[in-house]
């Protein structure tokens, strides 16, 4: 019985030793890893999702209010600067212009009358002065009485006052003429406001009103866009927007034309970021734009911010404790695994990061995390680069 128990114990012990040996062998055998190799001329691109927009887009309308009498443009029409787009019913305003013009004619006639009165008053004054001068000379000789001389002086003073009034009447008439001219200009300007002209070379995006509609001043009649000002607005994550600069090359892919890529350049970077989404507005202008555009269409934008001549890149998922600048990575040196504190630079569009420093010469960075990675453990490289 004892011998049988001893055999069982020895068998169990042997099995345990075999299991332990197998575990030790499995835990210490070289682990298979994949490493990053040096790459050349790697483009660094920043992704942004946005829409097709236009820098010059205006909702135009009348500065006056009335019923729409004529509409000369509609959706999709191309118009030139100064082309008439619409007209309002202007009969009432035309009557006011005629009245203002009549006011000018009346003021001109009044000015002529005032000037004639000045001539008449000047002649009367000259006659009264001459008469008074003679009578003043005669009173000294005693030929006429002092009362007659006083009357002559009074007549001269009255004639002088009448002359002064006539001169003032000319000034008043001039002021009335200027006022009538200004009123005419006002009424004429208001009449011009009954005609709506294109402020720039444009395409009609939308017509908001129809014939007979009564519109208020400032109410939109057309939405116009300058086709030459169409661009793409990209929303770029602030964490990736730092290297973006005006003039950099970009690629635009429209949702309606996913098979085509339109080359573009960065032309503006928004000064104010979105405080909620933490995104920066970046505007790109196509160098070869599609013939037709649709405002608001979704667009994907890739901006090339740099080209790395020689770089070692590791996926962000292979970095432990990454804070946007530093982190820890696994590396293989002389067939042994080590952990390194590394510093990173550019980030590619496929979420790989450039290792700037921290990886010793001769070491290769591991690109895939695994629970089998342990410092000091031997490793063999599955994707060894051909020499």
Q: pLDDT (tens digit, 9 = 90+) per residue, 230-261?
A: 999 999 999 889 899 999 999 999 999 999 99
> Are residue 298 and residue 315 in the same domain, yes or no?
no
Rounded CA-CA distance 62/55 in Å is 22
Q: Identify the DSSP state of 227.
A: G
**Residue 221, number of CB atoms within 10 A of its CB:** 23
Domain range enclosing 150: 91-192
Q: How many CA atoms lie within 13 A of 145 on its CB side?
A: 3
**Which of 270, 287, 306 corresponds to the end of one domain?**
306
> Are residue 95 and residue 188 in the same domain, yes or no?
yes
State the CATH number of the domain containing residue 342.
2.40.420.20
What pLDDT score was predicted for residue 88? 95
What pLDDT score was predicted for residue 137? 75
> Are residue 324 and residue 255 in the same domain, yes or no?
no
Strand order in the sheet with 214-215: 195-197, 84-88, 66-71, 214-215
Q: How many CA atoms lie within 13 A of 302 on its CB side?
A: 15
| 34 within some domain | yes
> Are residue 374 and residue 286 in the same domain, yes or no?
no
User: pLDDT grade, residue 387 (50/70/90)?
Assistant: very low
> Are residue 312 and residue 332 in the same domain, yes or no?
yes
> Are residue 328 and residue 286 in the same domain, yes or no?
no
pLDDT tens-digit series, residues 289-341: 888 889 999 999 999 999 999 999 999 999 999 988 899 999 999 889 999 99
Q: What is the mean pLDDT of the chain?
A: 88
What pLDDT score was predicted for residue 2? 56
Name 50's Cβ contacts closer than 8 Å, sequence gap at least 6.
232, 233, 234, 235, 282, 298, 299, 301
Which residue stretches of the chain are H helix?
Answer: 2-28, 91-141, 146-192, 238-241
| 291 within some domain | yes
Pairing of strands 379-381, 31-33: parallel
| 346 within some domain | yes
| 205 within some domain | no
- What pTM value is reported for the model? 0.71
What pLDDT score was predicted for residue 266? 96
- 316: phi then psi, degrees, rounded to nearest 5: -60, -30
> Are residue 353 and residue 302 in the same domain, yes or no?
no
> Are residue 341 and residue 325 in the same domain, yes or no?
yes
> Are residue 99 and residue 183 in the same domain, yes or no?
yes
State the CATH number of the domain containing residue 257.
2.40.30.170
**Residue 177, number of CB atoms within 10 A of its CB:** 19
| 209 within some domain | no
Q: How many structural domains comprise the chain?
A: 3
Rounded CA-CA distance 306/203 in Å is 37
> Are residue 297 and residue 313 in the same domain, yes or no?
no
What percent of the chain clears pLDDT 70, i.e. is strictly above it?
A: 91
> Are residue 101 and residue 177 in the same domain, yes or no?
yes
**Residue 324, number of CB atoms within 10 A of its CB:** 9
H/E segment holding residue 303: strand 298-315
What pLDDT score was predicted for residue 136? 75
pLDDT tens-digit series, residues 85-141: 999 999 999 999 999 999 999 999 999 998 998 898 888 888 888 887 777 777 777
| 202 within some domain | no
| 244 within some domain | yes
**Which of 306, 324, 344 corresponds to the end of one domain?**
306
| 357 within some domain | yes
**Which of 273, 306, 339 corresponds to the end of one domain?**
306
pLDDT tens-digit series, residues 3-38: 556 666 666 666 665 555 555 444 557 888 889 999
> Are residue 127 and residue 144 in the same domain, yes or no?
yes
- 143: phi then psi, degrees, rounded to nearest 5: -75, -40
């Amino acid at each position: 019985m004892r011998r049988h128990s001893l055999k069982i114990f020895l068998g169990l012990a042997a099995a345990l030793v075999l299991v332990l040996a197998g575990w030790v062998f499995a835990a210490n055998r070289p682990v298979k890893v994949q490493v990053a190799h040096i790459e050349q001329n790697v483009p660094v691109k920043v992704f942004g999702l946005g829409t097709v927009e236009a820098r010059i887009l205006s909702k135009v309308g009348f500065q006056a209010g009335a019923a729409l009498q004529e509409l000369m443009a509609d959706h999709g029409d191309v118009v030139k600067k100064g082309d008439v787009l619409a007209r309002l019913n202007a009969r009432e305003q035309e009557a006011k212009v005629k009245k203002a013009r009549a006011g000018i004619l009346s003021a001109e006639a009044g000015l002529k009358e005032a000037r004639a009165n000045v001539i008449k008053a000047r002649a009367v004054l000259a006659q009264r002065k001459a008469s008074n001068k003679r009578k003043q000379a005669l009173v000294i000789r005693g030929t006429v009485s002092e009362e007659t001389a006083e009357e002559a002086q009074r007549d001269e003073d009255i004639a002088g006052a009448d002359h002064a009034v006539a001169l003032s009447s000319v000034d008043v008439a001039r002021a009335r003429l200027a006022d009538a001219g200004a009123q005419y200009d006002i009424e004429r300007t208001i009449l011009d406001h009954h005609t709506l002209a294109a402020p720039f070379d444009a395409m009609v995006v939308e017509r908001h009103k129809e014939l007979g509609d009564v519109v208020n001043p400032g109410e939109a009649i057309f939405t116009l866009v300058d086709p030459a000002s169409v661009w793409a607005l990209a929303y770029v994550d602030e964490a990736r927007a730092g290297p973006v600069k005006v003039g950099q090359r970009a690629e635009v892919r429209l949702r309606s034309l996913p098979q085509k890529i339109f080359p573009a350049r960065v032309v503006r970077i928004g000064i104010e970021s979105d405080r909620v989404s933490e995104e920066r507005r970046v505007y790109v202008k196509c160098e070869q734009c599609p013939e037709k555009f649709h405002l608001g269409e979704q667009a994907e934008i890739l901006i090339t911010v740099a080209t790395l001549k020689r770089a070692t890149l590791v996926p962000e998922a292979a970095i432990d404790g990454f804070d946007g600048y530093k982190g820890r990575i696994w590396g293989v040196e002389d067939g042994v695994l080590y952990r390194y504190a590394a510093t990173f630079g550019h980030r590619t569009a496929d979420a790989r990061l450039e290792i700037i420093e921290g990886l010793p010469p001769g070491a290769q960075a591991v690109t895939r995390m695994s629970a089998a990675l342990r410092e000091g453990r031997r490793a063999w490289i599955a994707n060894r680069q051909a020499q």
